[in-house]
Amino acid sequence: MLQRGMRQIAARASQADPVISLIRCCSSGASDPSSCNPDFTSLPKALVPGHQALWNPRTNKGSAFSLRERQALGIHGLVPPVVSTPELQEQKVLRNIRGQASDLDRYVQLMDLVERNEKLFYRVICNNLEEMMPLIYTPTVGLACQKYSFIYRKPQGLFITIHDLGHISDIIAAWPQDDVKAIVVTDGERILGLGDQGCAGMGIPVGKLALYTAIGGVKPWQCLPIVLDVGTDNEKLLNDPLYIGLRQKRDRSEKYDQLIDEFMKAVVSRYSYNCLIQFEDFANNNAFRLLEKYRHEYCTFNDDIQGTASVAVAGVLASLRITGTKLKDNTFVFQGAGEASLGIANLIVAAMVEEGLSIEEARKRMWMVDSRGLIVKNRASGGITEHKAHFAHDHEHIADIGQIVKALKPTALIGAAAIAGVFTEEILRDMASFNAKPIIFALSNPTSKAECTAEQAYKYTDYRAVFASGSPFDPVTTPGGKTLIPGQGNNAYVFPGIGLGVTLFGVRHVSYNMFLEASKACAELVTDKDLAEGRVYPPLKDVREVSIKIAIRTAEYAYEKNLTSLYPKPPDMEAFIRRHMYHYDYLNYEPEFYDWPSQ
Task: Give the catalytic positions in this structure.
Answer: 137, 208
Minimal CA–CA distance to 317: which of 328, 302, 306?
328
For the chain, give the number of residues.
Answer: 599
Alpha-helix residue ranges (DSSP H) falling in 355-424:
359-363, 386-389, 401-408
The alpha carbon of 429 is separated from its chain's Cα centroid by a whole number of angstroms, namely 34
d(CA 25, CA 32): 9
Distance from C-alpha of 157 to C-alpha of 516, rounded to nearest angstrom: 31
> Backbone phi, then psi, for 120, in 5-degree steps?
-65, -40
Radius of gyration of the chain (CA): 25
Element (H or E) spanning 495, and its range? helix 495-505
Which residues on adjacent β-strands are paired with residue 467? 440
* Number of Cα atoms under 13 Å in the Cβ half of residue 543: 32
Contact 496, 216 (CB under 8 A): yes
Residue 575, Cβ density class (10 Å: 0-12 exposed, 13-18 middle, ≥19 buried): exposed
* Nearest residue to 97 via CA among 127, 52, 67: 127
User: Is 100 in contact with 109 (CB distance < 8 Å)?
Assistant: yes
CA distances from 470 to 12, 80, 147, 312, 342 (A): 49, 43, 22, 9, 16
CA torsion 438-444-449-453 (nearest 10°) is 30
Query: Are the C-beta atoms of residues 197 and 234 closer than 8 Å to each other?
Result: yes
